[in-house]
Amino acid sequence: MMGLTKISVLSKLIIPMALLGISCEKQNNNGIEEAPVISTVETTLQKEMPFKMGAAVNVSLLKNNTNYRNLVVKEFNSITAENAMKFASVHPSKDTYTWSEADYLVDFAITNGKRIHGHTLNWYKSLPDWVTKFQGTTAEWENLLKTHIQTVVSHFKGKVVSWDVVNEAINEDGTFRNSIWVQKLGVDYIGRAFQYAHEADPGALLFYNDYGHEFGPTKRTAIINLVNNLKGQGIPINGIGLQMHTRVTQTDSNLAAAISTAAATGLLVHISEIDIALNPDNNQSLTYTTDLGVQQAAKYKAVVKAYNAIPKAQQFGITQWNVTDGDSWIPSNYSRPDWPLPFDAQYRRKPAYQGILDGVK
C-alpha cells in the first residue's frame, strides 16, 4: 500500500516538475523507491553564462511592473540605467541635480546583488536646454564639463563600478562628430573627460562607448585609434563599449571582427547595448515568424560565441538594451514593428535566449 501511495504522489509531481526543468528519480539501483531528487534548478542567464549578463533598465517599469522587475531580478547580474543617469535626467538646470530615479536604480541593484554600470557622462544627445543654450567662454564650458562629470561620479562613488565616460564621439566615416562639446572645447576634451571622471572616483572602470564597430573597418578603425591614442597618452581608460545595435542580416564575420578588434586593444570589452533587429527595412506589415526567431537565435549565438573567444580577463559582460520586445526602444524610435530582444512582450524566452546559451557551449 505504501508503495502505491508513493507512486501515485510521484506521478502527480512528474509533470509540473518536468516543466520546471526538475527531474525525478523514482528508483535506486535496488529497485527501492526514493523521494524525488531535484537535480537541476531553473536556467537563468546570470547562472549559465561565464560572464556578467546585463540589461538597460527603465526605472518607471522597474517600479510599476512586477513582471518586468521579476525578470530583471531573475535573469541579470548587471544593470545599466537606460536613461536615468543621462545629463538631462540628473542635471536639469545649472545648479540643480535630481538623483531620485538614478538612486532608486542603484539601490535596487545593490539590494539585489547586481553590478551597476553608469551610462553616460558625456554625449551629444539628451542634453538639457540650459546646456545647449549655454553662452560662455572656453574656460566656462570646460568648467561645465568638469563639474558635471565630477558631481555625478562623486555622487555614485563606490556604488557605480564603471562608466561610459564618452558616448558616440565618432561618425560613420571615421571623423569626429561635430558635437557641441567638440565645437566648444575641441576633440581633446575626450581625454580630459576621462581624467575628470578618474579624479572623482579612481576606483571606477572607465569606458569609451560607441555603435557601429560591426559596420566595417572605417568606423571601427577610427574608434580603435581614438582609444589607443588615449591609452598612449596615459589617459585612464579601462574599456571599450560596443553597443551592437545590430540586425539579423549583419554577417557573423563583421560581428566577430568588431569584437576581436576591440579585444586587441587589451582593454576590457563590454557588449554594452545589444539588440538584434528583425525588421531593419521598416516593413510596416512584417510579423514575427518562427523562421525569423530561428535566424535571430543564430545571430545572438554568433555574437556570444565570438565574445566567449576573447580572453576571460577582458570580458566585462554582455548587456542587452532594454528587457523585452515590449519595452525595446526600437519600435517607438523607428515607428515599426520589431522584436529585437531575447524575451517577448509577454516576458517569455524566445529562441534567441537559447541562442545566447548555445554561444558558450
- Residue 329 as a binder of ligand 9MR (CB under 6 A): the answer is yes
- Binder to ligand 9MR among 179, 243, 246, 265 (CB under 6 A)? 243
- Residue 215 as a binder of ligand 9MR (CB under 6 A): the answer is no
Burial class (CB in 10 A: 0-12, 13-18, 19+), 1: exposed
Give the C-alpha separation, 326 to 340, whole Å. 10
Please confirm, yes or no, whether 129 is among the known catalytic residues. Answer: no
| Catalytic residue selected from 75, 101, 164, 168 | 168
Beta carbon of residue 82, minimum distance to ligand 9MR (angstroms, whole number)? 5
- Binder to ligand 9MR among 75, 82, 201, 325 (CB under 6 A)? 82
- Using CA atoms, how far residue 48 sits from 45, 129, 288, in Å, is 5, 44, 27
- Shorter beta-carbon distance to ligand 9MR: residue 164 or 351: 164
- Binder to ligand 9MR among 46, 83, 112, 228 (CB under 6 A)? 83
Preceding peptide of 120 cis, ω within 30°: yes
Question: What string marks each residue from 164 to 203 as x (binds ligand 9MR by CB under 6 A) or -?
Answer: ---x------------------------------------
Burial class (CB in 10 A: 0-12, 13-18, 19+), 192: middle
Grid coordinates given for 138: 572656453
Please confirm, yes or no, whether 273 is among the known catalytic residues. Answer: yes
Beta carbon of residue 167, minimum distance to ligand 9MR (angstroms, whole number)? 6
- Shorter beta-carbon distance to ligand 9MR: residue 288 or 329: 329
Alpha carbons within 13 angstroms on the beta-carbon side of residue 282 total 4
Give the C-alpha separation, 180 to 196, whole Å. 18
Nearest to 344 by CA among 307, 305, 301, 292: 292
- Shorter beta-carbon distance to ligand 9MR: residue 99 or 329: 329
Q: What is the DSSP secondary structure assignment for residue 348, as one 8-state letter?
A: P
Please confirm, yes or no, whether 42 is among the known catalytic residues. Answer: no
Give the C-alpha separation, 47 to 360, whole Å. 13
Residues 110-169 that bind ligand 9MR (CB under 6 A): 125-126, 167
Residues that bind ligand 9MR (CB under 6 A): 82-83, 86, 125-126, 167, 243, 273, 329
Residues assigned a catalytic role: 168, 210, 273
